Chain A
Amino acid sequence: MTYIEWRPSFATGIPDVDHEHQEMIEWINRTLAACGQAGGARDAVTDLLGEIYARISAHFALEEHVMKSRRYDQFAEHKRDHERLLDEIRDMMDEHESGGQVIEERLASRLAPWFSEHFRLQDARFHSAGL
């Protein structure tokens, strides 16, 4: 199983944001681990996905607030990206709910890279813009 690993290059330099990024990686890894378990982990995955959804929503809310208050020029783009990811998570939740077993694969193949990309490019650019 490929877990996401926190790398120093993810750091944005804003303690609030970095703290939540680390927390979220932890939750995703826990979900990946639960997916990996055979059989009875179905409900656990549902719960964990719900948790991730709530936490990412809150995280994005904070990030958007910071961006708005710093008048980040690519706010709209960044916000769209956030919404896209939230939609993706919701899709996964529904898929999982309706009995699909692709969740683990999808988490690994879509969400995890999205995350590291998002951190690395988007957030980093936002924060290194020196705003």
Chain B
Amino acid sequence: MQWLKSAIRACIEWLESILDRVCGPTLNPLNQLGALGWFQFWLIAVSGIYLFIFFDTGVTQAYSSIESISRDQWWAGGILRSIHRYASDGLVLVAFLHMLREFAMDRMRGARWFAWVTGLVLIGFIYVCGITGYWMVWDQLAQYVALSTSRWLDALPIFAEPISRNFLSNAELSGRFFTLMVYLHIAAPLLMLLFMWVHIQRYNYALVNPALKLMIGTGAGFLLLSLVSPALSQAPANLDQIAATVGLDWFYLAFYPLMDRIGAVGLWWLVLAVFAVLLVLPWLPRLRESPAAVVHLDHCNGCSRCFDDCPFGAITMNPRSDGAAFSAEAVVDADLCVRCGICVGACPTATPFRRATALVPGIELPAFNLEALRDRVETVARTLTGESRILVFKCPHGAAVTPPVDTSVGVIEVPCTGMVPPPFIDFVVSRRLADGVMLAGCREGDCYERLGVRWTEQRIGGERDPYLRDRVSRDRVAVSWAGPGQGADRGQALAGFASALIRPPGGTQPGATAEQRAAWRQVPTRPSAPVRYAALGVMVCVSILLLGFFSHRPTVRLRADTAAIVTLSFSHAGRNRQECQRFSPEEMARLQPNMRRIGGDCPRGRWPVYVELELDGRVVYAGTRQPAGLWKDGPSTLFARFQVPAGAQRARVSLRDSGRDNGFDASATADLDLAPGQNLVVEFKQPGGFTFK
């Protein structure tokens, strides 16, 4: 598991650093996959509402209304239909990338299991939406989807009648089925939206809108794709025929060719197994955590800053419980706390200057208390020598601090840079414990604890409480946001910061020029605009090609070119195992008057139905179908399809439903001349016997 995680993580980080250089952290799509999912959901919803206005339910109306949308008003309905499809494909892509990334970055254990598990539910919803959507079009693909989905569901032993029997032939197909599909295709996204909301419930300031430019770019990409390769229906569905091949949307329907290989039951086991593994993943292994943040009521006046800053909604402000004259107090929910310490960084009492009483802030991490942090700062600072002594507060999730780590650089690891209270920076700089302070955290836009980087930037920038005081020269404070794969950037930033700090002899201010001082802030350096735009263009083209191609290619072969299909199906109740026993007059007399109407004892159990199909003397199917129902008193059902060579042949079908040992209760023969692709339905009904249609 660990090596898998690391391998995926390395790939993602490599991709991320490239995108960081091309788009910059704020526009890097990998930093906002979830938000991109939301955006695509809205695109799908809006285009779907428009399509719904023109969609007709009905066996032939469904297809023709969609054809009309795509052709008569290609400039509106057609484009929106394409956007509806491609954004749906994009949603699958983004959802899986999102999931893969949270897995690889190890962001689904501990308190974060909740988003992981609700995310899995969302993936289920995405598939329900997609499959019902493809079904509604009622083209060749829809036919494949309908039959495959029915077959898959029929493998569950819960239906008295196979759903597949709804799709026996054109003549028996009911228009009501499309009403049901429309209903499902609207209900599922609504429920999905509810779960999307639940999915982000535990996150404060959850990002649900990607950056504006990214939204515009994504939308434009879909529009371009819609014009280049509009989403069109395949040939209309015809249940009396089976097409040789069908173009497949691999984002949604890849399971169906797989089912053709491993069978419906096999697919159920596979899906259940994968789902079960994913479900328990947050606890494999269980995250071993230090104790959650604790509130020291003696030092908490209920100012709510920790509540405002907690990225995981682990803090609530409750009425005061200790009788102090304040109205509120912070309360930590240990089950939601991820031990990032961002609350400590927000607490106004977390200042290292306080000495008259112990350095106990209103809220802190027991395993990482502030007094120990101050001691560590002072201890490490004492070991520093040279002209540019730098104290680095480093989080464990970002890049390592590589050279120049010597006696001029001291590193103190904190759970998150957001945990460092700004007064600590003031403390280090004003007491000359070091010449400069560097806050070294995760890649910008992708803080492991979600908001540590953002709050740190805002606190230093004087935009968010607690401010880093203006009196602290910003020339002495550096930030370095770099992921584990960006160690070189970090080294460069550190070296640049160090050289900017070197003072001229006798001077007290950093001696470098403004440009030199600012140089380290430009790390990582980004390529020139033309290179960036070219790279961006390649990126967009690759995404478009990916979506445009796999949304209907490669095709799947459903039968051999020269083959025809024989469907053998019935829903027929075998005979009762026992005749009714009429009660004798004495037995009748013993019964209560209201029970005498029955007049006898009729056991409900039925015989199973045995059926055999031969083509030119070759047995194609022979099997016993058990009666449905807990008491084995329902009909026996069958829906089975066989590929047979086209051409003239003699069919013989026989059935036994009476429990006799040999011989048949009904049989029929027919001389068939099957055309390639023809779907011949052999059905048994009572009364009427076998029919060949």
Contact = CB atoms under 8 A, between A and B. Distances in A.
Interface string A11-47: 0000110111000000000000000000000001011
A94 B303 CA distance: 27
The interface size bin for chain A is 20 to 34
Nearest to A54: B354
Interface in A91-119: 91, 93-94, 97
Interface in A50-70: 50-51, 53-55, 57-62, 64-65
Interface in B323-366: 324-327, 348-349, 351, 353-357, 362
A51 B356 contact: yes
Contacts of B302: 16, 62, 65
A57 B347 CA distance: 9
A60 B349 CA distance: 11
A55 B426 CA distance: 17
Given A47-B355, A58-B349, A93-B353, A15 B303 contact: no
A15 B325 CA distance: 6
Contact of B349 (A44, A54, A83): A54
Given A16-B326, A50-B351, A86-B469, A58 B357 contact: no
Contacts of A51: 354-357
Interface string B304-321: 110000000000000000
The interface size bin for chain B is 20 to 34
A61 B466 contact: yes
Contact of B304 (A49, A55, A65, A91): A65
A87 interface: yes
Given A83-B467, A86-B469, A50 B349 contact: no
Contacts of B658: none
B213 interface: no
B349 A57 contact: yes
B471 interface: yes
Contact of A62 (B301, B351, B469, B470): B301
Contacts of B444: none
Interface centre among B349, B362, B467 (most CB of A within 10 A): B349
A127 interface: no
B465 interface: yes
Interface string B455-475: 000000000011101110000
A125 interface: no
A107 B75 CA distance: 75
B465 A61 contact: yes
Given A83-B467, A94-B430, A58 B362 contact: yes
A47 B301 contact: no
Nearest to B307: A65
A19 B357 contact: no
Given A51-B355, A90-B469, A62 B326 contact: yes
Nearest to B305: A61
A53 B325 contact: no
Interface centre among A47, A55, A64 (most CB of B within 10 A): A55
Interface centre among A19, A44, A47, A58 (most CB of B within 10 A): A58
A44 B356 CA distance: 7
Contacts of B465: 61, 64
A124 interface: no
A74 to B, nearest CB: 18
A4 interface: no
Given A16-B327, A57-B466, 11 more contacts: A16-B326, A18-B325, A44-B356, A50-B355, A51-B356, A54-B351, A54-B353, A61-B465, A64-B303, A83-B467, A97-B430
28 contacts: A16-B301, A16-B325, A19-B326, A44-B356, A47-B354, A47-B355, A47-B356, A48-B356, A50-B355, A51-B355, A53-B353, A54-B348, A54-B349, A55-B349, A57-B348, A57-B349, A58-B301, A58-B303, A59-B301, A61-B301, A61-B465, A61-B466, A62-B326, A64-B303, A87-B471, A90-B430, A97-B430, A97-B431
Interface of A: 15-16, 18-20, 44, 46-51, 53-55, 57-62, 64-65, 83, 86-87, 90-91, 93-94, 97
The 6 closest A-B pairs by CB, nearest first: A50-B353, A19-B325, A47-B355, A61-B303, A51-B356, A61-B348
